Structure 1
């Protein structure tokens, strides 16, 4: 059996941090005279009681983590934080059911951005800040996990970044110091985003809330209309820039700070990311202009904003792109799966996996043409180990299979084709809005049956933790020995 004491200890520490975070929206409600501050204080008390109890009862008797404990800790931590993060949502003025509260919380902590809340413009301020904070915490959490945990667990080819992050990079000597430095950069980027939004016309409250969800590529907004509430080109272009900033590997920011500012432009992931975004945005803008949906300038703005939002998994909307026509909808659906760079706050399949598959495909084609030749696939000018290539191929297969199973199950629950397919895609890719009139950019997930919400919540967790981190625990052999 697996010794779960170290797992419980770490989860206890995380719950204690979550409880401290709940005091921020409590203070916001208290200052603004909203009675929901009591809900946050009570939720914080329950959360810290459980967290401290777990710490005190498990702090002795174990020495270190092993791989299986790391798998359990990672999945258990995200699920537990989502559960306790749902407490303020369930008992606030919104009076959400536990299903809706957990869905909203899971959507927040996984930076998905799907919502069941209608009437955000009049929602309690503490709740709005709490939703943004969940995404902000989830964003830094996934960056640290992608740098410190997933490479060690060898999940979906992430072992490719183990040496790059700590040995070859030589930014800072220890993983804890790297994580702390990245957290500092993450905070600075958030402050920069908040100031920029405020200067461009948002209120201070909206600027802070959207700064947290923009850099986390989360997508929660304080407005039902999302970014279409501000029909201001400056705000839309600023948000596009911030979403891209959150999609870049945060280790590259460390390199830039340490005297290598060109590292970001030399990185293959970043070049592919920018190339895909620019191409897709240009095609969308040309299509919108040709169809007469917008004038050229507005077509460029809305095209770029929504392409960036969907591909990075942020989920903001400056317009209902579901009304742009079949071509635009299909393009957005494809972009949902791509995602950003490994080591960023984004989700989806990730750019580096497409690069590896492309490199392997090129080698296969060359071998067909020259059967006696010796060809080696490269990533960032380094040979791709067979183990990494196999992990990436396995990830693609499991990702496709998981998406298909989710879509089929949603269809069995009575959802129409567009809602079922796009709902599965947006959950496993952690994008936010789906397609169609029900869960599209202008809709919410409120009307879905409870069973669908629980299934989508599982899909969000599955996608956020790179599939295998969760699925490995369903193998009976995992728990033996």
Structure 2
């Protein structure tokens, strides 16, 4: 692993991160919230100082060849910095509880969006904007990480490089990372600005419209929709559903949608996502006999499958049958969510491998053909996928058991566990945590598992692939 390459990339990230931090600090000062502003100033100062120190220390090592492992190390370091620096502004509203502030920051940075702050706490404008900023940075960082890994290991995995436009064929360096970060960030901010208009037409305030739009595009939850002060209309339901779909698919496909719209709608991930949403909507129509319209149920289904929970508050999720909520939420979070479109790739790999094995059973003497097929996907890669899926299920069950020992009932423990691992606000139940045993420990553990869930298989498997 090239530590200097990682440090140089971190310096670029912190330089970018200091800009919105400074804006929030100025905003807090403008609103006479001096203690809140001082916390933002600490974030700004730390980001700038560390960025400058790392840039100076690594200025002579600009041409080192990076590996996929370097990207994983970089992402681990950056999400740790996001957790620590992002948690500082929450320290005051968290009542001086560091683990609660850490949970809030990690939940936003991993685009989960669940909150443990007391219901009577009203976030100031600067802190509400901070939640949105962490969502945006987390979403951009996730997609950037996947793109960088694909550029480094994609040549050894059939069909993987084809998922990226040529413009993203950039090596891992500070300059390369910042270039990809700006491109992805520009697209995400453009989508957010576009979808913000529609809730405002329905009567939402700018704060509510931005919160809904950011949550939908980043598949997170900036605020609970139950706290909104406007009647959500058909235009909002439809626009936010489209925004969640855009945020849930391989976002880099959107760069080519104007030039090749057919490629977008024929993409395996897009088709899988639409089938999942349609199936869940049909299940809700059959199982639910309430007064909700078709558009509202469609928005609920998209909120669950996309893992955002944007248009689904806790009261609404409680009337959905637990098996339906868990099954579709788990599949959506485990296979189809906003991480650059790589979750569905592993499913296609397993499907292709299964077809090969069945063909071998039907034609056991076709040795040459099977050997040729084996060259398509490295055995170590396929084994890594199986190991990941087994570990995913085992970790979910193990975490659920620990949460049950902390005071959650079976349904709450299982739902919270899956919500943390899949970064799904629709599944992550928080109501029971107020009276949990070892509350700070539970918050710390869930924070760690949310980061683990955000680090995709494609990133983790780079530890096992050869250089």
> What TM-score range do you get, normalising by the shorter chain?
0.7 to 0.9
Q: CA offsets per residue over residues 213-269 of structure 1, 9 Å max, x none?
A: 221111121x47256964433322221111111112122112224x21211011111
Match of 1:39 in 2: 39
> Which of the residues 205, 208, 211 maps onto 2:207?
205
Residues in 1 aligned to 2:236 and 2:432: alpha-carbon distance in whole angstroms = 24
CA spacing shift, 1:9–1:32, aligned 2, 3 Å? same
CA contact (8 A) 2:400 2:414 kept: yes
CA spacing shift, 1:281–1:353, aligned 2, 3 Å? farther
TM-score, normalised via structure 2 length: 0.84
Query: What is the DSSP-based 3-state SS (H/G/I as helix, E as strand, rest coil) of the residue aligned with 2:261?
Result: coil
CA spacing shift, 1:471–1:106, aligned 2, 3 Å? farther
Note if 1:351 corresponds to 2:351: no
CA spacing shift, 1:96–1:242, aligned 2, 3 Å? farther
> Which of the residues 302, 305, 310 maps onto 2:304?
310
Matches within 5 A, 1:100-139: 100-119=100-119, 122-139=122-139
> Which of the residues 382, 392, 402 maps onto 2:395?
402
Q: CA RMSD in A?
A: 3.6
Query: What is the DSSP-based 3-state SS (H/G/I as helix, E as strand, rest coil) of the residue aligned with 2:73?
Result: helix
CA spacing shift, 1:29–1:62, aligned 2, 3 Å? closer
Query: What is the DSSP-based 3-state SS (H/G/I as helix, E as strand, rest coil) of the residue aligned with 1:284?
Result: helix
Q: Unpaired segments of 5 or more residues in structure 1? A: 377-382
Residues in 2 aligned to 1:244 and 1:317: alpha-carbon distance in whole angstroms = 13
Note if 1:450 corresponds to 2:440: yes
Deviation of residue 100 (structure 1)?
0.6
Note if 1:324 corresponds to 2:323: no
Residues in 2 aligned to 1:338 and 1:271: alpha-carbon distance in whole angstroms = 14
Deviation of residue 362 (structure 1)?
4.6
Note if 1:186 corresponds to 2:188: yes
CA contact (8 A) 1:99 1:454 kept: yes
TM-score, normalised via structure 1 length: 0.82
Q: CA offsets per residue over residues 350-386 of structure 1, 9 Å max, x none?
A: 333333334444554555556557988xxxxxx7665
Matches within 5 A, 1:61-460: 63-64=63-64, 65-90=66-91, 92-119=92-119, 122-149=122-149, 152=152, 159=157, 162-166=160-164, 169-171=165-167, 174=170, 176=176, 180-221=182-223, 223=224, 225=226, 230-257=231-258, 259-288=259-288, 292=289, 294-295=290-291, 298-319=292-313, 320-324=315-319, 328-339=321-332, 345-346=338-339, 350-365=343-358, 367-368=360-361, 371=364, 388-434=381-427, 439=429, 443=431, 445-448=433-436, 449-460=439-450
Deviation of residue 101 (structure 1)?
0.7
CA spacing shift, 1:323–1:24, aligned 2, 3 Å? same
Residues in 2 aligned to 1:86 and 1:198: alpha-carbon distance in whole angstroms = 30
Query: What is the DSSP-based 3-state SS (H/G/I as helix, E as strand, rest coil) of the residue aligned with 1:208?
Result: helix
Deviation of residue 131 (structure 1)?
0.6
CA contact (8 A) 2:342 2:458 kept: no
Deviation of residue 132 (structure 1)?
1.1
Query: Which stretch shifts more, 4-13 or 277-286?
Result: 4-13
CA contact (8 A) 2:111 2:423 kept: yes
CA contact (8 A) 2:111 2:221 kept: yes
Aligned residues: 451
CA spacing shift, 1:444–1:271, aligned 2, 3 Å? same
CA contact (8 A) 2:422 2:453 kept: yes
CA contact (8 A) 2:111 2:218 kept: yes
Residues in 1 aligned to 2:72 and 2:363: alpha-carbon distance in whole angstroms = 43
CA spacing shift, 1:180–1:444, aligned 2, 3 Å? farther
CA spacing shift, 1:401–1:364, aligned 2, 3 Å? same
Deviation of residue 417 (structure 1)?
2.2
Note if 1:52 corresponds to 2:39: no
CA spacing shift, 1:173–1:39, aligned 2, 3 Å? closer
CA contact (8 A) 1:151 1:159 kept: no
Q: CA offsets per residue over residues 258-283 of structure 1, 9 Å max, x none?
A: x2121101111111111111111121
Q: CA offsets per residue over residues 256-311 of structure 1, 9 Å max, x none?
A: 24x212110111111111111111112112211xxx3x13xx25233222221121
Query: What is the DSSP-based 3-state SS (H/G/I as helix, E as strand, rest coil) of the residue aligned with 1:455?
Result: helix
CA contact (8 A) 1:286 1:299 kept: no
Residues in 1 aligned to 2:395 and 2:458: alpha-carbon distance in whole angstroms = 11
CA spacing shift, 1:229–1:460, aligned 2, 3 Å? farther
Residues in 1 aligned to 2:287 and 2:156: alpha-carbon distance in whole angstroms = 36
Residues in 2 aligned to 1:471 and 1:352: alpha-carbon distance in whole angstroms = 13
Deviation of residue 102 (structure 1)?
0.7
